[in-house]
A and B are shown apart, each in its own frame.
Chain A
Amino acid sequence: MRSTLLLLLAISAGLQAAESEELVTFNREVRPILSDRCYGCHGPDANKGRKAGLRLDEPEGAQLKLKSGQRAIVPFDLAKSAMAERIQSTDPEEVMPPPELHRPLSAKEKDILLRWIKQGAKYEAHWAFVTPQKAPLPPVKLNTWPRDKLDYFTLSAMEKVALQPNPEAEPVTLLRRVSLALTGLPPTPEEVDAYLADKSPQAYEKKVDALLASPRFGENLAVAWLDLSRYADTYGYTGDGAMFAWPWRDWVLDAMNHNMPYNQFLTEQLAGDLLPQATLSQKVATAYNRLHRLTFEGGSIAEEFRQDGIGDRVVTAGYGFMGLTLECSRCHNHKYDPISQKDYYSLAAMFSDIVENGLLPYHGEVPPPFVRLLKPEQTTEVASLKAKVQQAEQAYQQTLKAAVTSEDRKSSPIKVPAPVAYYPFEELTKTGTPNQVPDSKPATFERHRGDQLGSVELAPGHVGKALSCDGDGGLYLSGMDKFGRYVPMSFSAWIQLGEKNKRATLLHASGFYTNDADASGLELMIIDGKLRWSAIHLWPSVAVSIQTTQALPLKTWVHVTVTYDGSSQASGLHIYLDGKLAPTTVERDALDTPIREATLELASRSRDAGFRGGLIDEVMLWRTALTNAEVALHHGLPLASLTPEVLQEHQLLRDNATVQTAWNQLQTARKALEKVEESAPKFFCMQHADTVLPTYVLTRGQYDQPNLQQRVSPGVPTKVFPWSNQYPSNRLGLAQWLTDPRHPLTARVAVNRYWTQVFGAGIVPTTENFGLQGDAPTHPELLDTLAVEFQESGWNVKAFLKRLVMSATFRQSSVASPKGREIDPANKWLARGPVQRLSAEMVNDQALAAAGLLVEKIGGPSAKEDEHRRGVYLYRRRTVPPDSMLIFDAGSRETCQPRRLTTNTPLQALLLLNEKVFVQASQKLAANLSQKPNLQPEEKITLAFRTVCTRWPRPNELKALTALYQQELQAYQKDPAATAKVAHQKNPEVAALALVCNTILASDAAVTSR
């Protein structure tokens, strides 16, 4: 009732004031309303049935004649505009937005929309999607105040609302503020004294330069980027195992400390592997795209999690580099921003250009692709060892060639070598089946899981009886382990398919399928009826594999022999059917890492499809790669049927000493390379591959619902900024697109984030969302000017931060004047300096530093709390983040966190007063002060206060702290036991001081930068 009245008043007032009414600005006033209340149903997303066919995000749609015959908007004509009527209706069936939205228009908002229509309903492009331009300096009255150009913009805004800038802050306050902003640590009392003693006009600037040059700078600046990049030390899902990622964190710190230009910072992380002659450091940078969570939970479906990982990369880059909420477009076109679902999957295609499994390997291997973190001297060594392998390969090939043409032929009769195992399957015992090779072990029924389903039986075979497989049961070829990467081997068996096996395990050396995320070791599979023979480190990235071109026949005995020569090459794998080499295709040819050497299992694998309905007979194993001729003889082909090439090959491999020597030298060279390579840690990274799985638009974002009509190639949201064919169609192109000087978002998003770091709130307060639902900039011309000048400076981050902290705006006192509090309670117009609660890391670092406990060491493995490192180095376990971090509003780092909230809770007080680090710091600070015998208690308390809070205590503060000290001193003098517990010594003064120090650490002066 009352609101209706208000509305009527507002409208009639509006009508009366028609001539003089204020012009509505679309970007600042109208669009936020349309976006928030209308675009959900009448916006860019047409997929879900745009309501009434009406589209309000562009003038054509808004003015279109609708089915009802009406037009939502007729410029300048309220009477003809259906929108005017609908938004003012009191009929719940008629009113817009509909009551179900639960966000009705306020009277003021209605007035804005009505005035907008009346004034012609002009649209403007969304400010953030228009290339920023430098603005001329605005005129100001108080022209003596600005120090930097940016001050003209802030001052002009202040003057518009009749605010005056605050005077400059006290030097000590300013020193604390700038030190915390740039390095995350407050200055020591000595630094304060030295600063105050420096009377030169450049004293402040010198200090700023020193802070920017300090390695602490990177340790501080990195934190926000680590939040955004969801950097952590564990993989985050079930089990939450350790994730080796800190070298990437050190890369970030190093980039920041060395003032890497922002465009390079962006490019190396997004596309370091695609840069020409990419360095190790540039490859390490690309781990940015690998920091998302990964699971090894049993039964997980790899594709589901692969898609989740890719999605995480898209979303993280969206927030970090573009200030866009891309995840909205995973399931449908964005409801507010011009980002279609296709755009989202085009970006997904950018980020899915690596060969990966999607799951985390179970046994702790680094999920490929990876790079080896070789030390510089190892790099040289590896290069030389690689050259040696190449030479040995050439030498081997030449030896082969030479031997072929050589007349000197020694030809011994061809004999099939003795197998190391032979299972004829003529009997099954309680535990397995005998091995006919003397002194060898039988195959057993041993299983990975005791309760594993299935069994094997005997049935009529090719020779006598055979093993009949139900698809779940199998046999362990016990005693047959150690078929490694360098061990030549052969496997042969008669098999008969009972059904068209889509997937069936014949032989493998892994644990259980999917849980291993990799199927590592030797592996012989039936895939769609074809044989696939592989040696695998981790599937599909690091493996060699071949597959027959023809499917096996059904219900027919086939004699299968597979061989591997120990070369780690696909060319060293062979499949023979009935004694003859079978045509195959190469599936994978990238094995540079050891393979699993576990016991071989026949016919089944836990959690995988076994050889259902199949028969297996006459299984043999050799510790040598049989030659084609031997395989033929093994099958029973007559010697006369062998071609001269086959015979010659046999002779070369078996009887030619020169060839064997060359081969042995080659294998020795390969092993020498492996030894050095494997001594270096593997580190996950991006590694572009030309042949990867195609990307489709996923219907409703479901991993198992690819829209096969909508295959996409790598691309970007072109309505945000157009693509140019001069960019390569990959992540490097994406980086070039983003760092194009005309790109509307990249520089704005970056300068706004740095501004936030220094001023506590952004010029665009929603730092992560520059889209239509984000906040409008408080100082749009300033933001644009800063963005352009940042690019012109060569994306110079330190220079930009220096500019900010040197400005008059930053240096103001933060104490609000009565007028400032009244007009601008939130300090939107910056007529006073920033106030910020210290971050979780700063609270930790300040306490440790005050007590002299802080271990200052740059980089390295993440640390536990009691190692007393800076907060940036705290070990971040994603499912159980450090308490001190969570309690002071740092997130879990499970996903990208663009901003931290600042809260105020009792748990913070409990932490500051009772937690080990803070109690220990209080005790240590007190003990340190007690070493200064010349100081009176007040002087010690003053020094403690200065050490933590930087400034001198005010008289009332000192009085209160001294009173506490005296009371506690009396109490502890009477209680030696308590003294010992608090002070770790007999001196009650230390105990009393420790409580004083703890109180200081918990005070507002300590946890706030003012």
Chain B
Amino acid sequence: MRPQPPTYDDLMRVTRRHFMGTAALGLGAMAMRGIMAEGAEQALKTHFAPKAKRVIYLFQAGGPSQFETLDPKPLLRASHGKPLPDSVRQGQRLTGMSGYQATLPMAGSFVDFKKYGQSGIEFSDLMSSTGKVADEICVVRSMFTEAINHDPAITFFCTGSQIAGRPSMGAWASYGLGSMNENLPAFIVLVSQDATKDQPLYSRLWGSGFLPSEHQGVQFRAGKEPVLFLTNPEGVSPHDRRQMLDTLAAMNADQRATQFDPEVDARLAQAEMAFRMQTSVPEVADLSKESEATLAMYGPSVKTPGSFAANCLMARRLVEKGVRFVQLFHQGWDQHGGLPGGITRQLKQTDQPAAALIQDLKQRGLLDDTLVIWGGEFGRTAYCQGKMTKDSYGRDHHPRCFSMWMAGGGVKKGLVHGQTDEFGYNIIQDPVHVHDLHATMLHLMGIDHERLTFKFQGRYYRLTDIAGKVVKPILA
């Protein structure tokens, strides 16, 4: 049987630092679990053979509209400007922003769709690059969620609960599987610097919640210091730092010999890991060694540090080095008004790099065991919020249906899963809840979502709470 990960209470006991001798179960070993030697056997075995060893999650924060991206609705376009029939809405709740609107005129997509590849999946003209990798992609048109406002919805998507304080997806992956590289964290977060910052992001979205803090996402930033406090203070050379660590080792060895506390060793091991990160992180963050051909794939903005394109390339470099879970955040999708202009800008920034990431992973043989996910926290309404003009309209938040795509890592290629009604208001076939997506993601990583648990405050918590079903039809 697979050994259960330690519970909260186990950890509390362990961290009282009274483990005897150099017992392999001491916190040192436990902390080291997340930082195994590169290519080494994973400390904790999966529940079954994984299809995806790593995940790159391209989170599109703000709620991208499905109508101008992945879910074509000819009838809605034909009904542009007419009031949304009440029979479609079924009295479901709206946000306080458009809930009092006297009229709810339907808004058809301003942009055309085309079929791509052998699979013939339809993408909007704004996603023509993604269209080129259509045959690698599985589009899910039947996603739904529970929350209707950004903060609760994005918290729900990233942690499986609207309530703040639960561990994030990547933290669960780190806790369950650890890293495959001793010199890099298991869970890394990249935030686009070129995005329109319409809705904020919160550290809770990549936090470890009640899991030990070693599992929290480490944010890689653009610029000289990709990880906080990575750089030695001015005037302190790597050699000086080495001397300091050697001194620390000598001091701690003495402490260990007099206190009989294995925690001392663990602390030293962490300092050594920090030292190695000081070399390994700048190395992996340095895009200058990438070939011109590769850079060209991702588009011109790849040369702007921190852009979505640069982050996509960075994500590839990170998973190549064995990072377990990389999550990108790209804000700016909250188009309550002026949607045509806004979404055109968004896809100009993201379409080519996301497609390039798929191609790049594929050409390096990484796509088969890397799961790539693209999507936001909810979708947008079929009706117009605010003023509708000849070439502009807006859309309010819509949790009842929206679209995402996935690629690689054990997902069927060239598939469209699920269907919405002809107005794109409700799901009519194969609904996929957020918990289902989480269950499927963990399943692909070799984890039974019902068995990856952590006892906290008397309850066994899971990423999927008490729900979640693996979406079997999309598994390759």
Quick one: closest B residue to A337, CB to CB? B458
Q: Are A1004 and B151 closer than 8 Å at their CB atoms?
A: no
Q: Are A451 and B259 closer than 8 Å at their CB atoms?
A: no
Q: Are B459 and A471 closer than 8 Å at their CB atoms?
A: no
Q: Are B267 and A904 closer than 8 Å at their CB atoms?
A: yes
Quick one: closest A residue to B228, CB to CB? A883
Q: Are B228 and A907 closer than 8 Å at their CB atoms?
A: yes
Given A299-B97, A825-B19, A904-B263 in contact, is the A910-B457 Cβ separation under 8 Å?
A: no
Quick one: closest A residue to B397, CB to CB? A299
Interface residues of B in 387-441 (CB under 8 A from A): 387-388, 392, 394, 396-397
Q: Is A978 interfacial (CB-CB < 8 Å)?
A: yes
Quick one: closest A residue to B269, CB to CB? A904
Which among A131-139, A607-615, A686-694 touches the partner chain? Answer: A607-615
Q: Is A964 interfacial (CB-CB < 8 Å)?
A: yes
Given A451-B387, A815-B260, A980-B235 in contact, is the A298-B97 Cβ separation under 8 Å?
A: yes
- Give the chain B neighbours of A973 by CB distance below 8 A: none
Q: Is B96 interfacial (CB-CB < 8 Å)?
A: yes
Q: Are B233 and A919 closer than 8 Å at their CB atoms?
A: yes
Contact string against A for B residues 437-461, beta-carbon threshold 8 Å, 1 for contact and 0 otherwise: 0000000000000110100011110
- Give the chain B neighbours of A824 by CB distance below 8 A: 18
Q: Is A909 interfacial (CB-CB < 8 Å)?
A: yes
Q: Is B294 interfacial (CB-CB < 8 Å)?
A: no
Given A453-B103, A915-B229 in contact, is the A904-B27 Cβ separation under 8 Å?
A: yes
- Compute how far the CA of A815 lies from the CA of B337 in the bound complex, rounded to whole angstroms: 66
Shortest Cβ distance from B306 into chain A, in angstroms? Answer: 18
Given A451-B386, A892-B204 in contact, is the A914-B458 Cβ separation under 8 Å?
A: no
Q: Are A954 and B17 closer than 8 Å at their CB atoms?
A: no
Q: Are B97 and A607 closer than 8 Å at their CB atoms?
A: yes
Shortest Cβ distance from B164 into chain A, in angstroms? Answer: 4
Q: Are B233 and A914 closer than 8 Å at their CB atoms?
A: yes
- Compute how far the CA of A889 lies from the CA of B212 in the bound complex, rounded to whole angstroms: 8
Shortest Cβ distance from B462 into chain A, in angstroms? Answer: 10
Q: Are B450 and A325 closer than 8 Å at their CB atoms?
A: no
Q: Is B163 interfacial (CB-CB < 8 Å)?
A: yes
Q: Are B213 and A901 closer than 8 Å at their CB atoms?
A: yes
Given A102-B450, A453-B387, A1004-B251 in contact, is the A610-B102 Cβ separation under 8 Å?
A: yes
- Give the chain A neighbours of B240 by CB distance below 8 A: 968, 971, 995
- Residue from the set B97, B384, B453 with the largest chain A CB neighbour count within 10 Å: B97
Q: Are A816 and B213 closer than 8 Å at their CB atoms?
A: no
The one of A514, A892, A977, A999 that contacts B164, using a Cβ cutoff of 8 Å: A892
Shortest Cβ distance from B21 into chain A, in angstroms? Answer: 7
Q: Are A328 and B101 closer than 8 Å at their CB atoms?
A: no
Q: Are A236 and B164 closer than 8 Å at their CB atoms?
A: yes
Given A609-B102, A1004-B255 in contact, is the A880-B202 Cβ separation under 8 Å?
A: yes
Contact string against B for A residues 894-926, beta-carbon threshold 8 Å, 1 for contact and 0 otherwise: 110111011111111111011100010000000
Q: Are B270 and A908 closer than 8 Å at their CB atoms?
A: yes
Q: Are A826 and B13 closer than 8 Å at their CB atoms?
A: yes
Q: Is B196 interfacial (CB-CB < 8 Å)?
A: no
- Give the chain B neighbours of A452 by CB distance below 8 A: 386-387
Q: Is A786 interfacial (CB-CB < 8 Å)?
A: no
A-B pairs with beta carbons under 8 A, tally: 315
Q: Is B241 interfacial (CB-CB < 8 Å)?
A: yes
Total interface residues on A, using CB and 8 Å?
118
Which among B52-60, B242-250, B367-375 touches the partner chain? Answer: B242-250
Interface residues of B in 14-39 (CB under 8 A from A): 14-21, 23, 27-28, 31, 35
- Compute how far the CA of A453 lies from the CA of B394 in the bound complex, rounded to whole angstroms: 10
Interface residues of A in 953-994 (CB under 8 A from B): 954, 956-957, 959-961, 963-964, 967-968, 971, 977-982, 991
Q: Is B150 interfacial (CB-CB < 8 Å)?
A: yes
Q: Is B194 interfacial (CB-CB < 8 Å)?
A: no
- Compute how far the CA of A760 lies from the CA of B16 in the bound complex, rounded to whole angstroms: 7
Q: Is A377 interfacial (CB-CB < 8 Å)?
A: no
Q: Is A189 interfacial (CB-CB < 8 Å)?
A: no
Interface residues of A in 80-124 (CB under 8 A from B): 100, 102-103
Q: Are B260 and A981 closer than 8 Å at their CB atoms?
A: no
Q: Is A881 interfacial (CB-CB < 8 Å)?
A: yes
Q: Are B203 and A880 closer than 8 Å at their CB atoms?
A: yes
Interface residues of B in 94-109 (CB under 8 A from A): 95-103
Shortest Cβ distance from B285 into chain A, in angstroms? Answer: 15
Q: Are B450 and A100 closer than 8 Å at their CB atoms?
A: yes
- Compute how far the CA of A963 lies from the CA of B246 in the bound complex, rounded to whole angstroms: 10
Q: Is A773 interfacial (CB-CB < 8 Å)?
A: yes
- Give the chain B neighbours of A102 by CB distance below 8 A: 450-451, 453
Q: Is A159 interfacial (CB-CB < 8 Å)?
A: no
Interface residues of A in 231-251 (CB under 8 A from B): 236-240
- Compute how far the CA of A503 lies from the CA of B218 in the bound complex, rounded to whole angstroms: 49
Q: Are B458 and A299 closer than 8 Å at their CB atoms?
A: no
Q: Are B251 and A961 closer than 8 Å at their CB atoms?
A: yes
- Give the chain B neighbours of A761 by CB distance below 8 A: 12-13, 16
Q: Are B229 and A453 closer than 8 Å at their CB atoms?
A: no
Interface residues of B in 258-283 (CB under 8 A from A): 258-261, 263-264, 266-268, 270-271, 273-275, 277-278
Shortest Cβ distance from B159 into chain A, in angstroms? Answer: 11
Which among A744-752, A762-770, A798-806 touches the partner chain? Answer: A762-770
Q: Is B200 interfacial (CB-CB < 8 Å)?
A: yes
Q: Is B329 interfacial (CB-CB < 8 Å)?
A: no
- Compute how far the CA of A450 lies from the CA of B255 in the bound complex, rounded to whole angstroms: 68
Shortest Cβ distance from B276 into chain A, in angstroms? Answer: 8
Q: Is A513 interfacial (CB-CB < 8 Å)?
A: yes
Shortest Cβ distance from B470 into chain A, in angstroms? Answer: 15
Q: Are B203 and A892 closer than 8 Å at their CB atoms?
A: yes
Interface residues of B in 62-119 (CB under 8 A from A): 93, 95-103
Given A905-B213, A1004-B255 in contact, is the A910-B31 Cβ separation under 8 Å?
A: no
Shortest Cβ distance from A828 into chain B, in angstroms? Answer: 8
- Compute how far the CA of A903 lies from the CA of B214 in the bound complex, rounded to whole angstroms: 7
Given A907-B218, A954-B258 in contact, is the A298-B96 Cβ separation under 8 Å?
A: yes
- Give the chain A neighbours of B213 by CB distance below 8 A: 886-887, 889, 901, 903, 905
- Residue from the set B15, B148, B247, B460 with the largest chain A CB neighbour count within 10 Å: B247
Q: Are A453 and B270 closer than 8 Å at their CB atoms?
A: no
The one of A454, A768, A981 that contacts B457, using a Cβ cutoff of 8 Å: A768
Q: Is B311 interfacial (CB-CB < 8 Å)?
A: no
Shortest Cβ distance from A503 into chain B, in angstroms? Answer: 7
Q: Are A968 and B243 closer than 8 Å at their CB atoms?
A: yes
Q: Are B251 and A1003 closer than 8 Å at their CB atoms?
A: yes
Shortest Cβ distance from A490 into chain B, in angstroms? Answer: 27
- Give the chain A neighbours of B274 by CB distance below 8 A: 906-907, 909-910, 913
Quick one: closest B residue to A473, CB to CB? B102
- Residue from the set B93, B229, B236, B263 with the largest chain A CB neighbour count within 10 Å: B229
- Give the chain B neighbours of A771 by CB distance below 8 A: 458
- Compute how far the CA of A470 lies from the CA of B451 in the bound complex, rounded to whole angstroms: 55
Given A452-B387, A704-B93, A761-B16 in contact, is the A470-B255 Cβ separation under 8 Å?
A: no
Q: Is B304 interfacial (CB-CB < 8 Å)?
A: no
Q: Is B11 interfacial (CB-CB < 8 Å)?
A: yes
- Compute how far the CA of A236 lies from the CA of B151 in the bound complex, rounded to whole angstroms: 10
Q: List 15 A-B contacts (CB under 8 A).
A: A298-B96, A336-B458, A452-B386, A607-B97, A610-B102, A771-B458, A826-B14, A826-B18, A886-B216, A894-B164, A906-B271, A911-B229, A914-B231, A914-B233, A1007-B267
Seed contacts A765-B9, A904-B27, A1010-B259; 7 additional CB < 8 Å A-B pairs: A453-B385, A607-B97, A607-B100, A609-B102, A827-B18, A894-B164, A895-B164
The residues of A with any CB-CB pair to B shorter than 8 Å are 100, 102-103, 236-240, 293, 295, 297-302, 325, 328, 336, 449-454, 470-472, 503, 513-515, 607-610, 612, 704, 760-761, 765-766, 768-769, 771-775, 814-816, 821-822, 824-827, 835, 837, 879-881, 883, 886-887, 889, 891-892, 894-895, 897-899, 901-911, 913-915, 919, 954, 956-957, 959-961, 963-964, 967-968, 971, 977-982, 991, 995-996, 998-999, 1002-1005, 1007-1008, 1010
Closest 8 CB pairs of A and B: A471-B102, A773-B458, A981-B235, A299-B95, A960-B250, A299-B97, A451-B337, A982-B235
